[in-house]
Amino acid sequence: MVKRNVDLRSDTVTKPTEAMRAAMAIAEVDDDVLGNDPLALKLETEMAKLMGKEAALFVPSGTMGNLISVLVHCDIRGSEVILGDNSHIHVYENGGIATIGGVHSRTIKNNDDGTMDIDLIEAAIRNPKGELFFPTTRLICLENTHANSGGKCLPVEYIDKVGELATKHDLKLHIDGARIFNASIALGVSVDRLVQAADSVSVCLSKGLGAPVGSVIVGSKSFIAKAKRVRKTLGGGMRQIGILCAAALVAIKDNVPKLATDHHNAKLLASELNQINGLKVDPESVETNIIFLEIEQDSKISVESLCKNLEEHGILLMQESSSRIRIVVHHQISASDVNYTINCIKQLVCGYPLQNGY
């Protein structure tokens, strides 16, 4: 019997708010491929200014934003990109940079905090003297926050150091900033300062910001001009996108201020769950809106049965492995939803049937 709907699978699951729907309904639109959609231009201008870059481009997804960025930076055959072995680009984007872009990946181990050791990055840069044997390194990719590390924030000092290394070796730096606003709020660093060293950033509108669709890539005017062409090649040029950009403009205005609450709710959830025997989560490791919950071997309940039982009570989680569950908090998860989730998990893990009224 489903009691309520608490969707903690991802921050991609949010539904458009009434304010977004109202803005979409009255959105002024035109053909964006022909460069005339007024709200697309307004969103791109606003995002470029927010991120401290010359220009911006709306794209249908974060995956396409990363793919376009890598393809623009690595537009010469035989290019190589240095990226994390646990990065979204490497793990969850179907190897698109290789299958579509012909770009070779050189992975470096991601540390638990989402960074890659800078000395290992520098050691991985191909020496041009070896050109007879080696691909040519042209790009370094970072991810902030780092999703598979549990939403960890890469400090601005680290990003600046990687930027200096890229400049030293005449490379470009791309940031997968799907959750860059989460990092900005958690670190207390303005988003434009956080990405200052980057040549390009892909920013998801459809994650913590809560827009229904889309991402924006930002960079130099020259980069964005090339990106626009690659977007069209990939079929990402769309027509009356003002309907989508209207929602995104509302999302930026209304939801960036809510990210701190998402982080607070995630930390509260993590600290309460950590007190339940059979569960393990480090509340100190929760920096933003993502929690990785481990079910201990001697627990009375398995990951599968916990997720299934919770689903029957309207609580949706993402099973990551036989012992790990991912929980992602977003602006449509209330404090009451957090308490409901804690009570349901507590009852189930401690082996009690759920009481009515939870």
Ligand X SMILES: Cc1ncc(COP(=O)(O)O)c(C=O)c1O
Q: By the criterion CB under 6 A, which residues form the site for ligand THR?
A: 10, 12, 92, 147
- Residues 6 or more apart in contact with residue 297 via CB below 8 angstroms: 323
The size of the chain, in residues, is: 358
- Work out whether 151 is an interface residue with ligand X (CB under 6 A): no
Alpha carbon distance 124, 106 (integer Å): 7
Give the burial string for 204-230 (b: 16+ CB within 10 Å, else e): bbbbbbbbbbbbbbbbeeebbebbbeb
- Work out whether 330 is an interface residue with ligand X (CB under 6 A): no
Q: Which of 57, 173, 204, 348 binds ligand X (CB under 6 A)?
A: 204
Please classify residue 343 by burial: count the beta carbons closer than 10 Å to its beta carbon, then call 0-12 exposed, 13-18 middle and 19+ buried.
middle
DSSP-assigned beta bridge partners for residue 307: none
Site string for ligand X, 166-195 (x = CB under 6 A): ----------x-x-----------------
Q: Between 61 and 79, name the residue whose CB sits nearer to ligand THR.
A: 61
Q: Between 10 and 240, name the residue whose CB sits nearer to ligand X.
A: 10
Q: Between 213 and 354, name the residue whose CB sits nearer to ligand X.
A: 213
Give me the sheet containing 104-108, strands edge to edge. 55-59, 215-219, 200-204, 172-177, 136-143, 79-84, 104-108
Select the binding partner of residue 176 from ligand THR, ligand X, none (C-beta < 5 to 8 A, by kind). Answer: ligand X
Give the burial string for 297-329 (b: 16+ CB within 10 Å, else e): eebebebeebbebbeebbbebeeeeeeebbbbb
Select the binding partner of residue 143 from ligand X, ligand THR, none (C-beta < 5 to 8 A, by kind). Answer: ligand X
Q: Between 135 and 212, name the residue whose CB sits nearer to ligand X.
A: 212
- Work out whether 62 is an interface residue with ligand X (CB under 6 A): yes
Positive/negative CA dihedral, 130, 74, 92, 94: negative
Provide the minimum distance between the beta carbon of 127 and ligand X in the complex, in angstroms, as a whole number: 30
Determine the size of the site formed for ligand X (CB under 6 A): 12
Provide the minimum distance between the beta carbon of 144 and ligand X in the complex, in angstroms, as a whole number: 9
Residues in region 127-146 near ligand X by CB under 6 A: 143
Q: Which of 12, 261, 271, 347 binds ligand X (CB under 6 A)?
A: 12
- Look at residues 291, 203, 248, 262 and name the one whose alpha carbon lies nearest to residue 42: 248
Select the binding partner of residue 180 from ligand X, ligand THR, none (C-beta < 5 to 8 A, by kind). Answer: none
- Work out whether 88 is an interface residue with ligand X (CB under 6 A): yes
- Work out whether 40 is an interface residue with ligand X (CB under 6 A): no
Q: Between 12 and 261, name the residue whose CB sits nearer to ligand X.
A: 12
Give the burial string for 70-95 (b: 16+ CB within 10 Å, else e): bbbbbeeeebbbbbbebbbbbbebee
Which amino acid, 102?
A: G
Select the binding partner of residue 206 from ligand X, ligand THR, none (C-beta < 5 to 8 A, by kind). Answer: ligand X
Site string for ligand X, 274-293 (x = CB under 6 A): --------------------
**Token representation of residue 217:** 């890539």
Give φ, ψ of 201 to 5 degrees: -140, 140
* Binding positions for ligand X, rule: CB under 6 A: 12, 61-63, 88, 143, 147, 176, 178, 204, 206, 215
